[in-house]
Amino acid sequence: MYPKWGTFTSMGKTLKQDARLGYSIIMKGWTGKLLRVDLTKGTTEVTDYSEDIAKRFIGGRGLAIKLLWDELPKGADPLGPDNMLIFATGPYTAFTIPNSGKMVVAAKSPLTGGYGDGNLGTRAAVNMRKCGLDAVVITGKAEKPVYLYVEDDKAEIRDASHLWGKDSYVTEDWILEEHGKASGVLIIGQSGENMCNMATIVAQKGRAGGRPAMGAVMGSKNFKAAVFNGTKEIPVYDPEKLKELGKEGFGAIPKTDAFKFWKRVGTMQAADMMQVAGALPTRNFSEGVFEHIDKVNGDAVAEATVTQRGCPNCNMICGNTIIDSEGVHSELDYENVTMLGSNIGLGNLAQIGTLNRICDQLGLDTIGAGSCIGFAMECAEKGLVDIDITWGDFEGAKKLLYEMGDMKGHGALFGKGTKAAAAEIGGEAPDFAIHVKGLEVSAYDCHVCPGMALSFGTSPIGAHHKDAWVISWEISSGIREEYGPEKADKVIEFQRIRGGMFETLVACRFPWIELGYDLAEYPKYLEAATGVKMTLDDMWKMGDRVYALMRAFWAREYGDKWSRKMDYPPVRWFKHPLTEGALAGKHLDMESYDKLLSSYYDKRGWDARGIPTKATMVDLDLPEEAEQFAKHVQLK
């Protein structure tokens, strides 16, 4: 029990606040503290978590999956009060270390029914840690709209009725006015409030995270925003070393060969790369080349850029911001431009900027929303749904975005996501719904990329590129069209680095993947911050542990409905060959993909269903978790 330091009243309810006992666990780097917020009871409480959990799962998604595994009742309704919404940082978040201003948002996903998370850069990550917290866990459901205000040792649940119905920009403006410009925020727009399955969590008018409908989970709890203001010192194992490493890191980044190019085009460099490779999603992933590429590529964005924005603790900021067709700033990345551009047949950058900015305001994930619009356009073309929208139709797309935000009109159908919408529409619609496990595929067409298709297939949250972006390696490998086991090796290698190490340390991966920054620096940061020494091999094993538990979570939640088919990429890539460009006539082969998937399972120590075996879990230091798992699923 923690001594209470006071009570106060909000919305007619007496809410409790908690005192911190200082850092009671003998840990450095990690504070060892979780803030638990129960919105039904209106209480906040700070609890410890164990050193064992910190060392086995590090932070970010590792901590999130461990908490969900231990505490979420099996079969919990993702939009019900039991679901746990988790904001989790890493053991050196907020320290002066390059690209350490990010956080993971996680919960059971209403879009996929499995584990869901996202990673976004926000001052909330830095300030949360400076409040002495590694993570915040929100359960329950408030009677009326609320927001969470945390300032150092104080945590308050406050009335947000006046913010409900407001977009994320208006909400952020009000919060910064009320709580100061340095406040860190996590906000939902109207789409989260209306529990749209495309709803994400937004910060700083251009950072967004939590594609598997993490915004809808927040909305289901009547939870509009979280605000953090922190000034506390975080205990460090070796402050001098950490300072030295930070200085070296920040100094090295601008000296890398790719820095200038990165600063000019950022993630948009992928547009030309994908066009040349015939892998640029075009018209709902029916083609891999776009006739208007010159208007929507890296050069086009660089020329239109008026300013750059980015995450805290970063000296390679990459958010290229343009003035959109309605005269407002809009921050563009490759995924946004492609999914709201070529994927819907739109070649006007300023209009794409408008659609992107509307997504940020409504809190809609641009990838999911772009995929739903492309899907709707194809449904209209095929006469499957009576909706007035055509390829490249800016006004039609804009209208559909607002409808998805409100979950009204056609938005009520398409805002559920392509998988659910296709099931309702029926006929051939499921054949061109572009998702894996319900999560829409990000902007890489895989008609001729079996390795990247495997990456999407086995991503732990559904089709996202963040865990294993092997496409660049694959198209330049000389074995692009092959299905050999080296593709499974590469996917696992990247999943360990990106999905394992970066998502648990919660550091931006761009210094490494874009500038060639040495991976070996990251365990050094961990050691200076925490005193815990890990080799890169230890990191990979930790990543495999987190992967096994995320997989076990999916299998536990799905029960009898789980099968290896959950790891199959979209039907379209097998059934509908490309018709344009050098790759016309090509498509994936089902039998070969299935063999590649088996090879992936073997290498991971998972059975033919794609479920970790008991021996694998024990080997990964998950013996208790294996026992618990065996109560729900028959383990091999």
Residues that bind ligand SF4 (CB under 6 A): 99, 121, 310-311, 314, 316-319, 508, 510
Q: Least separation, in Å, of the C-beta of 509 and ligand SF4?
A: 8
Q: Least separation, in Å, of the C-beta of 305 and ligand PTT?
A: 14
Q: What angle do CA 578, 581, 582 make, to 5 degrees?
A: 100
Q: Which does 304 bind (CB under 5 to 8 A by kind): ligand SF4, ligand PTT, none?
A: none
Q: Which does 186 bind (CB under 5 to 8 A by kind): ligand PTT, ligand SF4, none?
A: none
Of 31 and 504, nearer to ligand PTT (C-beta) is: 504
Helices vs strands, H then E, count in the chain: 27, 19
**Which residue's beta carbon is nearest to the bound ligand PTT?**
118
Q: Which does 599 bind (CB under 5 to 8 A by kind): ligand PTT, ligand SF4, none?
A: none
Of 15 and 265, nearer to ligand PTT (C-beta) is: 265
Q: Least separation, in Å, of the C-beta of 30 and ligand SF4?
A: 21
Q: Least separation, in Å, of the C-beta of 309 and ligand SF4?
A: 8
Of 23 and 87, nearer to ligand SF4 (C-beta) is: 87
Phi then psi dihedrals of residue 387, to 5 deg: -130, 135
Q: Which does 316 bind (CB under 5 to 8 A by kind): ligand SF4, ligand PTT, none?
A: ligand SF4
Of 235 and 511, nearer to ligand PTT (C-beta) is: 511
**In a 3-state reduction of DSSP, which class is residue 299?**
helix
Of 103 and 421, nearer to ligand PTT (C-beta) is: 103
Q: Least separation, in Å, of the C-beta of 191 and ligand PTT?
A: 9
**443 vs 422: CA distance, rounded Å:** 20
- The answer for residues whose C-beta is within 8 angstroms of residue 220's C-beta and 6 or more apart is 78, 79, 80, 83, 110, 141, 195
Identify the CA nearest to 135 among candidates 229, 23, 34.
Answer: 34
Of 317 and 323, nearer to ligand SF4 (C-beta) is: 317
Q: Least separation, in Å, of the C-beta of 85 and ligand SF4?
A: 22
Distances from the Cα of 606 to the Cα of 70, 194, 555, 609, 616, angstroms:
21, 38, 12, 8, 7
* Residues 78, 197 contacting (CB under 8 angstroms): no
**Site residues, ligand PTT (CB under 6 A):** 102, 118-121, 200, 206-211, 267, 311, 331, 333-336, 359-360, 364-367, 466, 502-503, 507-510
- Answer positive or negative: Cα dihedral of 572, 578, 583, 584: positive
**Which residue's beta carbon is nearest to the bound ligand SF4?**
310
Q: Which does 119 bind (CB under 5 to 8 A by kind): ligand SF4, ligand PTT, none?
A: ligand PTT
Q: Least separation, in Å, of the C-beta of 512 and ligand SF4?
A: 11
Of 95 and 334, nearer to ligand PTT (C-beta) is: 334
Distances from the Cα of 322 to the Cα of 302, 308, 325, angstroms:
9, 9, 10
**Which tokens go with 490?**
């590469």
Identify the CA nearest to 102 among candidates 87, 115, 85, 86.
Answer: 87
Q: Which does 185 bind (CB under 5 to 8 A by kind): ligand SF4, ligand PTT, none?
A: none
Of 116 and 235, nearer to ligand PTT (C-beta) is: 116
Q: What angle do CA 452, 454, 457 make, to 5 degrees?
A: 115
Of 72 and 125, nearer to ligand SF4 (C-beta) is: 125
Phi then psi dihedrals of residue 290, to 5 deg: -125, 130
Q: Which does 367 bind (CB under 5 to 8 A by kind): ligand SF4, ligand PTT, none?
A: ligand PTT
Phi-psi region of 175 (alpha: psi -120 to 50; beta: other; left: phi over 0): alpha
Q: Least separation, in Å, of the C-beta of 278 and ligand SF4?
A: 27
Q: Which does 502 bind (CB under 5 to 8 A by kind): ligand SF4, ligand PTT, none?
A: ligand PTT
Of 253 and 548, nearer to ligand SF4 (C-beta) is: 253
DSSP per-residue codes, 231-272 = -PPPP-S-HHHHHHHHHHHHHHGGGSTTHHHHHHHGGGHHHH
Of 25 and 317, nearer to ligand SF4 (C-beta) is: 317
The 3-state secondary structure of 192-233, one letter per residue = HHCCCCCECEEECCCEEECCCCHHHHHHHCCEEEEEEECCCC
Q: Least separation, in Å, of the C-beta of 602 and ligand SF4?
A: 34
* Residues 437, 114 contacting (CB under 8 angstroms): yes
Q: Which does 503 bind (CB under 5 to 8 A by kind): ligand SF4, ligand PTT, none?
A: ligand PTT
- The answer for residues whose C-beta is within 8 angstroms of residue 303's C-beta and 6 or more apart is none
9 burial type by CB count under 10 A (0-12 exposed, 13-18 middle, 19+ buried) = exposed
Of 111 and 422, nearer to ligand PTT (C-beta) is: 111
- Answer positive or negative: Cα dihedral of 190, 192, 196, 199: positive
Q: Least separation, in Å, of the C-beta of 515 and ligand PTT?
A: 12
Q: Which does 66 bind (CB under 5 to 8 A by kind): ligand SF4, ligand PTT, none?
A: none
What is the bridge-based pairing of β-strands 4-10 and 13-18? antiparallel
**263 vs 118: CA distance, rounded Å:** 24
Residue environment code for 44-83, b if the CB has 16+ CB neighbours within 10 A, otherwise e: bbbebbeeebbbbbbbbbbbbbbbbbeebeeebebbeebb
**In a 3-state reduction of DSSP, which class is residue 180?**
coil
Q: Which does 334 bind (CB under 5 to 8 A by kind): ligand SF4, ligand PTT, none?
A: ligand PTT
Q: Least separation, in Å, of the C-beta of 546 and ligand SF4?
A: 21
Q: Which does 335 bind (CB under 5 to 8 A by kind): ligand PTT, ligand SF4, none?
A: ligand PTT
Q: Least separation, in Å, of the C-beta of 544 and ligand PTT?
A: 18
Q: Least separation, in Å, of the C-beta of 503 and ligand PTT?
A: 6
Of 157 and 316, nearer to ligand SF4 (C-beta) is: 316
